[in-house]
Structure 1
Amino acid sequence: MNFITFTENNLRSFTYNVFKRMGCTDEHATLATDVLIRSDLRGIDSHGVARLSGYVRLWEKNRINATPNIKIVHETPTTATIDGDAGLGLVVAPFAMKVAMEKAEKYGSGWVSVKNSNHYGIAGYHALMAVERDMIGISMTNASPLVAPTYSAERLLGTNPMCYAFPAGKYPPVIVDMATAAAANGKLEIAQRANKKIPDGWVQNKEGQSSTDPNELKSGGSLLPLGSDKDHGSHKGYGLGATVDILSAVLSGANYGPWVPPFVAFLEPSANPVGEGLGHFLGAMRVDGFRPAEDFKAHLDNWIERFKSAETVDPEQKVIIPGEPEFAFEQERKVSGIPLIDVVVKDLNELAGKLGIGLLVQ
């Protein structure tokens, strides 16, 4: 496995051209590009430009509307439901978070459930929008049905990520951004490209037995919930994934459970959908709705410092604050560039040839 490093600007230009070729407006192409590049900058390589082929594939199948009319279809002073009109989730979710923040500015908090959307990139991007306004940001989405609930051999839930983001003072925000499965499907895709086995406890085969094959899902296997199996707390991951599914889809009118339209190529959408598209849930809460924002941020700084100074089992290893590794990646990659494995570069340049745009160059 070889890595090729690209500047942020080169990847932005290439990605923007892909979205423009799909028919997106300048504004939407720029925003969708920003979501993907932010993922690569933050070291979440599974959800960055490596996903471009997936978006194009869905657009070619008329499952993504490049020029959506995103609108509020139900509303109260502090809540709303948004119809994404089958648009890119990379565009729909930021629209929804802006609505949530506007409501929070006026009433203290805002909560938005979304239907008729698509894959929205990393959950952290949307939650961080609120942090920039001294708000606590919440972001979650349901996803392709690849996860088997505890005791099940059937795939009924997605990896269903959730993110909570908190503004700090002199330190970077605290960002809890995680899949509710033992591993995100993107981690399996990375292992597939590298031809490596995956850790035990991530997936099971179609008979429900543990497997280390990253291709297991293609032959009927399933991801396991956070906690791995019934002996290691998988019911907790299952419960979290269920919560995301209910808030994102049952609440909004999107598809839920096994009816969620898949992003992965080896699954086809349900012939009998129970809703519209897939769903998201976004929330924003003003910190000063609880205490002065500067007080909160000073105490969160104190919280960070205390956890960082904790005595550890290994003196060489410090406690990691949620979001700290991603922040470090972002600072480094803005200077040194973004590394992509050669398999991804090959895939992107094949995509460029198919779309008739310039190749990705260093």
Structure 2
Amino acid sequence: MNFINITEQKLRTFTYSIFKRMGCSDEHATLATDVLIKSDLRGIDSHGVARLSGYVRLWEKKRINPTPNVKIVHETPTTATVDGDAGLGLVVAPFAMKIAIEKAEKYGSGWVSVKNSNHFGIAGYHALMAVEKDMIGISMTNASPLVAPTFSSERLLGTNPMCYAFPAGKYPPVVVDMATAAAANGKLEIAQRANENIPSGWVQNRNGENSNNPNELKSGGSLLPLGSDKDHGSHKGYGLSATVDILSAVLSGANFGPWVPPFVAFLEPPTDPVGEGIGHFLGAMRVDGFRPTQDFKDNLDIWITRFKNAETIDPDKKVIIPGEPEYAFERERKINGIPIIDVVVNDLNVLAEKLGVEKLINQN
């Protein structure tokens, strides 16, 4: 497995050109690019430019609308439901979070559910939009059914990520950004590219037996909920995933459970949909709606300091604050470039040739 370091700007220029070829406006192409590059910068390689060809394939299947009329279809002073018009979730989710922030600025908190959208990248991007305004940000989305609930072998839920982001003072924000499955599907894709086995507890085969094969989903297997199995608390991951599905889709009118359309273009959406597209849920809460903002930040700094200095089992290892590794990745990669696995670089170059844009790099 070989990596090629590419500068942030070169990756941005390339990604923007692909979205433009899809027919996106300058504004939407810039925003969609920013969401994907943020993922790569923060070390979440499974949700960055490696996903770009997937969006293109969905666009070619006319399942992504490059020029959506994203709009509010239901609203109260503190809540709203947004119809994404089958647009890129990379564009629709930030639109919805802006509405949540605007409502929070006026009323203290804002909550927006979204229907008729698509894959929205990393949940952390959207939650961090609120942090920039000294707010607590919340974002979540449902996803293609790849996860079996506890005691089942049937794929009924997505990896259904959720993110909570909190503004700190002298420290970076605390960002709890995680899938509610034992592992995100992107982790399996990384293992597939590297031709490596995956850890026990991530997937089960079609008979409900544990497997280390990263290709298990292709033969009818399923991802496991957070907690892996019934003996290790999988019912808790199942419950969290169910919460994301209900808030993102049952509340908004999007598809939920096994009816969520697949991200991969070669699989057709269910013929009996219960809603429209994929669903998201976004929220923003003003910190000063509870106490003075600086007081909160000062106390969160104390919280972070105490946890960073916790006594550890291994003296060479420290307790990690949620969001800390991603922040470190972002600082380092902005300086030294973003490492992209050669398989993904080749995939992007093929995509460039297909769409008639300049290749990411010349590999000859």
1:13-66 CA-to-partner distances (Å, cap 9, x unmatched) read: 000000000000000000000000000000000000000000000000000000
The CA distance in 2 between the partners of 1:142 and 1:203, in whole Å, is 19
Instruction: Specify every segment of 5 or more residues in structure 2 that has no aligned partner in the other structure, as ranges.
Output: none
Q: Which residue number in structure 2 is paired with residue 344 of structure 1?
A: 344
2:94 aligns to what SS in structure 1? helix
For the residue of structure 1 that corresponds to 2:5, the secondary structure is: strand
Aligned-partner Cα distance in 1 for 2:264–2:176: 25
Does structure 2 conserve the Cα–Cα contact (< 8 Å) formed by 1:41 and 1:338?
Answer: yes
Q: Name the amino acid aligned to 2:254.
A: A
> Which aligned pairs between 1:131-142 and structure 2 lie closer than 5 A?
131-142=131-142
Identity %: 84
2:145 maps to what in 1?
Answer: 145
Could you tell me which amino acid in structure 1 is paired with residue 349 of structure 2?
N
Distance 1:257 1:201 in 2: 22
Offset of residue 264 of structure 1: 2.8
SS of residue in 2 equivalent to 1:279: strand
Corresponding residue number in structure 2 for 1:76: 76
Q: 1:235: which partner in 2?
A: 235
Partners of 2:90 and 2:103 in 1: CA distance: 21
Asked whether the equivalents of residues 153 and 207 of structure 1 are also in contact (C-alpha less than 8 Å), the reply is yes
Q: Do the aligned partners of 1:10 and 1:361 also contact (CA within 8 Å) in 2? A: no
- 8 Å CA contact 2:61–2:265 kept in 1: the answer is no
| Aligned counterparts of 2:26 and 2:89: Cα–Cα separation in 1 | 16
Within 1, Cα distance between the matches of 2:16 and 2:287? Answer: 35
Letter in 1 for 2:29: A
Report the Cα offset of residue 361 of structure 1. 2.0
**How many residues end up aligned between the 2 structures?**
362
Q: Is the CA contact 1:127–1:138 (under 8 Å) kept in the aligned structure 2?
A: yes
Taking the aligned partners of 1:190 and 1:266, their CA distance within structure 2 comes to: 20
Q: Please name the residue that 2:121 is paired with.
A: 121
- Once the two structures are TM-superposed, the CA of residue 266 in structure 1 deviates from its matched residue by 5.5
- Structure 2 match to 1:189: 189
After superposition, residues 142-221 of structure 1 pair within 5 angstroms as: 142-221=142-221
Contact 1:74 1:80 survives alignment (8 Å): yes
Q: How does 1:272-283 map to 2 (within 5 A)?
A: 272-283=272-283
SS at match of 1:4: strand
One-letter amino acid of the structure 2 residue matched with residue 215 of structure 1: N
Letter in 2 for 1:343: V
**Is 1:159–1:179's contact at 8 Å kept on the other side of the alignment?**
yes
- Tell me what 1:254 maps to: 254
TM-score by length of 1: 0.99
Pick which of 259-268 and 3-12 moved more.
259-268
After superposition, the CA RMSD in angstroms is 0.7
Between 1:261-270 and 1:232-241, the stretch displaced more is 261-270
Q: Which runs of 4+ in 1 moved over 3 A?
A: none
Q: Take 1:140 and 1:324, find their aligned partners in 2: how far apart are those partners? A: 20
Residue 123 of structure 1: CA displacement? 0.1
Q: Give a deviation string over 1:155-181, Cα, whole Å, max 9, x none.
A: 000000000000000000000000000
Cα pair 2:58 2:264 within 8 Å, conserved:
no
CA distance in structure 2 between the aligned counterparts of 1:3 and 1:264, rounded to whole angstroms: 25
Residue 22 (str. 1) matches residue 9 (str. 2): no
Secondary structure, aligned partner of 1:81: strand
Whole-angstrom distance in 2 between the partners of 1:101 and 1:197:
42
Contact preservation (8 Å) 2:18, 2:357: yes
Q: What's the offset of the Cα at 1:265?
A: 4.4
Q: Which amino acid aligns with 2:323?
A: G
What residue identity is the alignment partner of 1:244? V
What corresponds to 2:9 in structure 1? Answer: 9
Q: Distance in 2 between matches of 1:356 and 1:271?
A: 34
Name the CA distance, whole Å, in 2 between partners of 1:231 and 1:294. Answer: 43
SS at match of 2:66: coil
Q: For 1:303-357, what per-residue CA distance to the aligned partner results, in whole angstroms no more than 9, with x for missing partners?
A: 0000011100000000000000000000000000000010000000000011011
Q: Look up the equivalent residue of 1:323 and give its one-letter code.
A: G
SS in 2 for 1:322: coil
* d(CA) in 2 for partners of 1:53, 1:338: 18
User: What's 1:224 paired with?
Assistant: 224
Indicate the SS of the match to 1:248. helix
1:268 CA displacement: 2.4
1:18 is paired with a residue whose SS is helix
Q: Which runs of 5+ in 1 are unaligned?
A: none
C-alpha separation in 2, matches of 1:312 and 1:358 = 50
Q: What residue is the counterpart of 1:330 in the other structure?
A: 330
Cα distance in 2 for residues equivalent to 1:349 and 1:134: 40
Structure 1 residues 174 and 37, CA, compared in 2 at 3 Å: closer, same or farther? same
